Amino acid sequence: MRELEGRVAVVTGAGAGIGRDVALRLARDGCDLGLFDIDAASVEETAAMVRAVGVKADVVVGNVSAQSDANHAVERWAVSLGPIDILVNNAGILQTARFLEVTVDDWRRTFAINLDGVFFFCQAVLPTMVERGAGVIVNMSSWTGKKGVPNHAAYGATKAAIINLTQSLASEFGEHGIRVNAVCPGIIVDTNMRAEAEDMNRDQGLPDVATRTKALPLRRPGLPHEVADVIAFLASDRAAYMTGQAINVTGGLWMN
């Protein structure tokens, strides 16, 4: 029997990059999947890959920054898949700019997607998790949520807030049998976000990924499935005594 056989998992931002690999990993572990993304074509592609594993996938196309989209998705999956056991809040956007050039619109959009999205999905799933006395939430932060870096003010602030929100929820809902953790990836390649970051680094005359990751303890960037493996562990009963943690998946880039 597969480790998460029969459980229902939801992944936001499941159309590409890390989110797609999380969906596939949880599918291989036996979960039925609720898949959410703003990009219909790419999330349908993920759904086809998930179904090919032999489990159910139900897609909702929407924007994580819209509370009505989050509520609609969770209500729909309750009917199509059953009660949600695992929520992975993965969707996010990168925002990089010199601080003095960050516009109010950039700032608000980054917070709306990266942070409000987590708030809305957690509020949507938690009442049923409390009723059932069980549930797991994994939130996507970043090493830049633990250490400020230049040109990432808005992005880093959202990722730091996600760590604190994770701790607050872990503290408040632990008594209901609900665990809430975060992961903090470092430099992960083969994602749209990384390609975008590389374009921006090149424009700013900064070194490329290969050069920067050569200096890391593990001497290379990470891959989406290496983040997905840690998320699957946190979602599983093997992590039964872990809550409120923000786990680095950085090849040693960040160790605190």
**Catalytic site residues?**
155
* Contact with ligand NAD (CB under 6 A) among 191, 213, 243, 248: 191
- Tokens 């925002």 locate to 95
- Report the residue number, 92 or 135, with the smaller CB distance to ligand NAD: 92
Residues of this chain, 90-119, that bind ligand NAD according to CB under 6 A? 90-93, 113
Considering the rule CB under 6 A, would residue 243 count as an interface residue with ligand NAD?
no
Q: Do residues 158 and 114 touch, judged by C-beta distance below 8 A?
A: yes
Q: What backbone phi and psi angles, to 5 degrees, belong to 103?
A: -85, 165
Contacts of 164 (CB under 8 A, 6+ apart): none
Rounded CA gap, 184 and 182, in Å? 7
Q: Do residues 36 and 81 touch, judged by C-beta distance below 8 A?
A: no
* Contact with ligand NAD (CB under 6 A) among 7, 26, 33, 42: 42
Residues of this chain, 2-31, that bind ligand NAD according to CB under 6 A? 12-13, 15-19
Which segment (72-80, 119-127, 184-192, 240-248) binds ligand NAD by CB under 6 A? 184-192
Rounded CA gap, 203 and 192, in Å? 17
Rounded CA gap, 194 and 170, in Å? 30
Considering the rule CB under 6 A, would residue 67 count as an interface residue with ligand NAD?
no
Interface residues with ligand NAD (CB under 6 A) are 12-13, 15-19, 37-39, 42, 63-65, 90-93, 113, 140, 142, 185, 187-188, 191-194
